Amino acid sequence: MNLLLKYVRPILALLLFFLLSACTPDGESGLSGQLLVQDQPLASAQVEIYLKAGKDRSVQPFAVAVTDGNGRYQLSLPAGSYFVIGKKRETTEDGRTRMLMAESPTNPHLVADGMTQAATFNLHEMWR
């Protein structure tokens, strides 16, 4: 009897682990990607998510994130279609303020289950 319990307990524990894993949700849905400037990662850039296309951004973004030190971002979003804009205002070494900006060339991004990887893209200086 003890020999039977010795083998049954680990099997039951393993079976319980697999059953609980199957009941856990698949994780969050959302969008992740990377912003660059001159093909280099762009830290502390703002990533804005919109529900509609177009240059008129008179409405507030649906969601906003900031890139990490490697220019990467990740946002939790419900399933849907999203437009990604990258922006960064910075001061150059000569004291000039410049605005970097670009739309994702692969807009719109469809988010369903899980994390959707957006294409990496470069921001460019906006001329006055």
Q: What is the tens place of the pLDDT at every residue in 98-128?
A: 999 999 999 999 999 899 999 999 999 997 5
Please write the tens of the pLDDT for every residue from 21-77.
333 345 689 999 999 999 999 999 999 999 987 655 678 999 999 999 999 999 999
Token pair in block for residue 79: 């399933």
Say how far apart CA 95 and CA 73 lie, in whole Å.
28
Tokens 């893209």: give the residue: 121
The pLDDT of residue 53 is 77
Number of domains in the chain: 1
pLDDT attached to residue 83:
96
Mean pLDDT over 91-102 rounds to 93
Q: Which domain holds residue 115?
A: 30-125
Q: Can you give the CATH number for the domain in which 101 is found?
A: 2.60.40.10
Q: Which residues of 46-64 are buried (b: 16+ CB within 10 A; e: fewer)?
A: bbbbbeeeeeeeeeebbbe
Whole-prediction pTM value?
Answer: 0.74
Q: Is residue 11 part of a domain?
A: no
Quick check: is 106 in a domain?
yes
Asked whether residue 54 is domain-assigned, the answer is: yes
Task: Confirm whether 63 is domain-assigned.
Answer: yes
Question: Residue 115 domain-assigned?
Answer: yes
